[in-house]
A and B are shown apart, each in its own frame.
Chain A
């Protein structure tokens, strides 16, 4: 690959007031290349994508497209220059139907439809309003819309983060073929598996600066992590929990006990127990009813059948306050859902203290402060920008959502994918915290979309498929292939090839592309 770069950006800088989101970023992408853009949270990846595609202006920097200097001032200009992004957040207009969305962007309909089918969604009605379409599908539509105009450079910002494995797999196949056909793809992901399966090279950002460009070869992960984290702790493996830690004496009755729980058509008949001092994992593909399960336990929606027992007492929740009173607190994966972004760290942590009507009066400021400070310390939240939570980094924001319930001394945490889009270092801290909470006799229900987390954190894992519990594993057996199979509803012990994610170790580009060729779907 010695051809001229398709896209060549150097010295890109972007300041938000006093904060430098990008200081000196560079990125060079060759034709036919799938190029990973990597970096810890807040390193500036999304910012760079936004600058390259005209969504925000840069403060400095030079961008060459096919060797020509281009000034891209708007997404429309980027599109004309052949740069098409799929941003971290869905970009379809919520109140327009899919067809109107296509018209708005002058996207040809037939190629779009072909790509949608290719990406594994056979039955899309393009008269459906975007608002009514599930998030994962929306992401795919976003991608299909970009693909339909045959961009020279496709920029995918954490495209696979919110996708279930089956859709993610299709996306990866399609992306790889883009590269094969001489176009370029800039691919952002925190998942090394995907990077190594897909990418040719990676540019690593740290604190807004490009700190290295590496070829993806087996074993390069260590090097990338080193670049990403700089002097920070390099890849701390959570030590396998000792037998002593695991030996939770089985209590007389479970902390939480769910029987035959049903929610609409999404969740049918789920039963399991959660004990004090236990972290129970929940694993499921996208849309298998896990959202509804957590929402029901959190009191956000009312189950249509079955029972929830807390400490042996039947419980009925009609509002999160009821669940909270029963000692169940919900930590959503999307921190924007949990935080009042313009308020301070302190107010966010103390929010549950004021919730009940009887606590609407004057606040005992000193007491509150003590509780908040101790929670901040336990979670090691970086409070340099504590005046407004929106100024915290993503990982620290995530910690605040948990700190709130640590400060409230909640007995049971319902964590829904709390490490979504968080860097390696912060993840480790969150794992540690959850174990610690369990160590204090509290219990945690932990849904994760990253299967490798299960063995790091959980004591047990509950697998849900099609709205039912299909298996409950002891953690020792819960390696990724086993979990993956179970998540697809396959019986334990069966061996079937379910795609490249099944075995990350043999996913070199060659073997991956061969598996792609066996998959159904025609190239548009």
Chain B
């Protein structure tokens, strides 16, 4: 083995290697570029209010993308989070009409825990492919929610003030949702890097057989993981209903595919074993800013979707190029 340190390394290569070692930097640069473009297109838009708004919308996406990040680290994916978030939001809004908010909260989190548990057992014990397992439970969940909706038509819905405050409120111009998000994000980052469970997520995704030989019980890790993912999704649902304030049967569904995109853009490998949550958060911000950018462009909806798709693809490809070139 030898390094090519003899001749001076060209500047381009050095920049590339620098970015490859710190994969967050290119992401942050991209985010800044997008914001600058936005500011050029509509001068003055980037102000305190806009930033607060962007953060407000990025947070639910970022939490769901956190679910995606963690499951992707193990080589899985959780497509049921949209349904779970929608269910807990819908149940909260309809139950709080007749129940104590605490009771409503518990009721709202129940399906989350249940779906997480079923996902975990399916993937961890029966070894069902996570894509199939979570698609299946999300189908079941959606069906249940729709049947449930038929039974509560008459009672109506209400958004608890606290959730509205958390979802939409600002304190000194800072979104209240950060009160929930900052500790949550810190917890996820800490879990991934400094706890045994976090280590196991990476290791299981890298080489499951090896973890087994080291005494790791796969089903335990996977079950815990999917329950955590589901609970996070449930919490997101509550936050999101506070933001949108209109309970519906597909509330968080549109966030599912972007949550996968945010995690991928943030550098988490869909094949497992590689990635982290910080990148994901920036990925979520990038997607949110991108959405605003496309709305401003005043182009037909079709053209916007085309651009969105192309940009997601381009960013992921470019990022892979940078990170893999070492």
A residues sitting closer than 8 Å to B (CB atoms) are 15, 17-20, 23, 42, 207-208, 298, 300, 319-321, 324-325, 330, 332, 336-343, 347, 350-357, 359-363, 365, 393, 404
Contact = CB atoms under 8 A, between A and B. Distances in A.
> How big is the B interface, by class?
20 to 34
Given A339-B207, A342-B206, A360-B200, A352 B214 contact: yes
A298 B209 CA distance: 13
B150 interface: no
A210 to B, nearest CB: 16
A332 B206 CA distance: 17
A361 B202 contact: no
Contacts of A355: 200, 211, 214-217
A418 to B, nearest CB: 13
B258 interface: no
Nearest to A325: B215
Interface string B96-124: 00000000000000000000000000000
A15 B210 contact: no
Contact of A19 (B1, B210, B211, B213): B1
Interface in B216-235: 216-217, 220, 224
Contacts of A365: 194
Interface in B183-220: 190, 194-197, 199-200, 202-203, 206-207, 209-217, 220
B4 A340 contact: no
* Dominant secondary structure of chain A at its interface with chain B: mixed
A319 B196 contact: no
Contacts of A42: 1
B207 A18 contact: no
Given A15-B4, A347-B203, A320 B196 contact: no
A340 B194 contact: no
B202 A343 contact: yes
A341 B203 CA distance: 9
A355 B204 CA distance: 11
Given A18-B3, A354-B197, A341 B213 contact: no
B4 A18 contact: yes
A351 B199 contact: yes
A42 B1 CA distance: 9
A343 B206 contact: yes
Given A20-B1, A359-B196, A365-B194, A342 B274 contact: yes
A340 B197 contact: no
B305 interface: no
Contacts of B195: 360-363
Interface in B1-21: 1-4
A321 B1 contact: no
A354 B202 contact: no
B120 to A, nearest CB: 14
Contact of A354 (B199, B207, B209, B224): B199
B143 to A, nearest CB: 34
Contacts of B216: 321, 351, 354-355
B273 A343 contact: yes
B49 interface: no
B194 A324 contact: no
A347 B213 contact: no
A516 B199 CA distance: 54
Contacts of A361: 195-197
27 contacts: A15-B4, A18-B3, A20-B1, A207-B2, A208-B2, A319-B212, A319-B217, A321-B215, A325-B215, A332-B213, A337-B207, A337-B210, A338-B210, A339-B207, A340-B203, A340-B210, A342-B273, A343-B206, A347-B202, A351-B211, A351-B214, A353-B196, A354-B196, A354-B199, A357-B217, A362-B190, A363-B195
Nearest to B273: A342
Nearest to A19: B1
Contact of A357 (B220, B273, B325): B220
A320 B214 contact: yes
B215 A337 contact: no
B173 to A, nearest CB: 35
Contacts of A404: 214
Contact of A351 (B4, B209, B210, B217): B210
Contacts of A363: 194-196, 199
A353 B2 CA distance: 34
Nearest to B220: A357
Q: Which 9 pairs between the two chains have the least Cβ-Cβ distance? A: A354-B196, A340-B206, A355-B215, A321-B215, A360-B197, A324-B215, A351-B214, A360-B196, A355-B216
A349 to B, nearest CB: 10
Contacts of A362: 190, 194-195
Nearest to B326: A17
- Among A19, A351, A363, the most chain B Cβ lie within 10 Å of the Cβ of A351
A468 to B, nearest CB: 26
Contacts of A321: 215-217
Contacts of B200: 354-355, 360
A297 to B, nearest CB: 12
- Among B195, B196, B224, B325, the most chain A Cβ lie within 10 Å of the Cβ of B196
Contacts of A17: 325-326
Contacts of B207: 336-337, 339-341
B194 A343 contact: no
Contacts of A324: 214-215
Contact of A347 (B199, B215, B217, B224): B199
Contacts of B214: 320, 324, 351-352, 355, 404
A364 to B, nearest CB: 10
A282 B150 CA distance: 68
Nearest to B216: A355
Given A320-B212, A337-B209, A337-B213, 4 more contacts: A207-B2, A330-B213, A338-B210, A354-B200
Contacts of A393: 1
A406 to B, nearest CB: 14
A320 B213 contact: yes
Contacts of A341: 206-207
B91 to A, nearest CB: 30
A361 B197 CA distance: 7
A164 to B, nearest CB: 24
